[in-house]
């Protein structure tokens, strides 16, 4: 088990690498978002739908973290989203230096939006900055509506929360109002989007959020 001192050293090293990445992304004017969720919440499906809607107007790229296999990156590339898989071999989260190395190997070129699809885990990824503009937490309707208070670390840090698989609401015991209330208690300024890749609900709002966030970043950069 890691000692407090060792953990602090690891986080400090990660923060330094994340700061380097953040500067790199700022100079390029690239919006970077870190998607975090439990396994099976629909991260890859959401990114597939996003690519189909935005790839004609924005230059997109994705770094994907998984414990094993390259299946998610293969799915995303098939949907038109250039992707680089990171196979962690057991590690429960991505770190900034690993993302940096993956980007150097991927050679995406200039990007408007970079997605980081983190390893499926609501705990470990919350502690590691990756140079992102903000973190996004996904919560599916097939999970418990009490998860926000059970995992306050990520729900308090994520600037955006996406409720996925909303087409299933009539068929599952998931109180969406309760879940959203808990999320807002932990992060009052959070932006919440309800989505379904099955019937398309909320996808326009989700894509608009990304586009407007990119525009805001570039406007701030121009005025700096």
CA torsion, ordered 44, 88, 86, 144, to nearest 10 deg:
10
CB burial readout 128-157, b (16+ within 10 A) else e? bbbbbbebbbbbbbebebebbeebbebbeb
CA torsion, ordered 208, 157, 146, 90, to nearest 10 deg:
100
Average pLDDT, integer, range 173-192: 98
User: Any idea what DSSP says for residue 221?
Assistant: H
pLDDT tens digits for range 16-67: 999 999 999 999 999 999 999 999 999 999 999 999 999 999 999 999 999 8
Q: Name the H helices within 145-224.
A: 147-150, 152-157, 176-186, 203-223
Q: Say what the pLDDT of residue 92 is.
A: 85
Contact 119, 35 (CB under 8 A): no
User: What class does CATH assign to 4-223?
Assistant: alpha beta
The dihedral region occupied by 84, where left means phi > 0, alpha psi between -120 and 50, and beta the remainder, is beta
Average pLDDT, integer, range 114-127: 94
Average pLDDT, integer, range 96-122: 96
pLDDT tens digits for range 207-216: 999 999 999 9
**Token representation of residue 89:** 């071999």
Average pLDDT, the chain: 95
Q: Which helix (H) or strand (E) holds 6?
A: helix 4-28
The per-residue DSSP string of 43-102 comes to HHHHHHHHHHHHTTTS-EEEEEEESS-SHHHHHHHHTT--EEEEE-TT-SS--HHHHHHH
Task: Tell me the pTM.
Answer: 0.94
Confidence of residue 223 (pLDDT cuts 50, 70, 90): confident
pLDDT tens digits for range 138-178: 999 999 999 999 999 999 999 999 999 999 999 999 999 99
Contact 36, 158 (CB under 8 A): yes
Is beta strand 83-87 parallel, antiparallel or unpaired with respect to 31-36?
unpaired
Q: Which of 42-46, 70-74, 157-161, 218-222 has the lowest mean pLDDT?
A: 218-222
The three-state secondary structure class of 124 is: helix
Q: Say what the pLDDT of residue 69 is.
A: 87
Q: Say what the pLDDT of residue 1 is.
A: 54
Which residues share a beta bridge with 60? 113
User: Any idea what DSSP says for residue 196?
Assistant: -
Q: Say what the pLDDT of residue 198 is.
A: 98
Does the pLDDT at position 105 exceed 60?
yes
pLDDT tens digits for range 111-120: 999 999 999 8
Does the pLDDT at position 78 exceed 90?
yes
């Amino acid at each position: 088990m890691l000692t407090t001192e060792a953990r602090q050293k690891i986080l400090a090293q990660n923060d330094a690498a994340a700061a380097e990445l953040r500067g790199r992304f700022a100079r390029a004017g690239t919006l970077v978002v870190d998607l975090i969720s439990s396994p099976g919440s629909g991260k890859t499906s959401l990114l597939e739908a996003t690519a189909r809607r935005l790839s004609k107007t924005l230059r997109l790229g994705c770094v994907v973290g998984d414990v094993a296999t390259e299946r998610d990156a293969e799915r995303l590339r098939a949907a038109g989203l250039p992707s680089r898989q990171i196979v962690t071999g057991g590690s429960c989260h991505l770190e900034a230096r690993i993302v940096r190395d993956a980007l150097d190997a991927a050679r995406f070129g200039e990007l408007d939006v970079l997605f980081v699809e983190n390893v499926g885990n609501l705990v470990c990824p919350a502690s590691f900055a990756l140079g992102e503009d903000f973190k996004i937490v996904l919560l599916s309707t097939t999970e418990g509506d009490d998860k926000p208070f059970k995992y306050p670390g990520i729900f308090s840090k994520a600037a955006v929360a996406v409720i996925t698989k909303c087409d299933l609401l009539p068929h599952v015991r998931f109180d969406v109002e309760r879940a959203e209330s808990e999320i807002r208690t932990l992060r009052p300024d959070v932006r919440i989007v309800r989505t379904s890749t099955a019937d398309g609900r909320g996808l326009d709002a989700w894509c608009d959020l990304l586009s407007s966030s990119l525009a805001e970043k570039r406007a701030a950069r121009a005025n700096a």
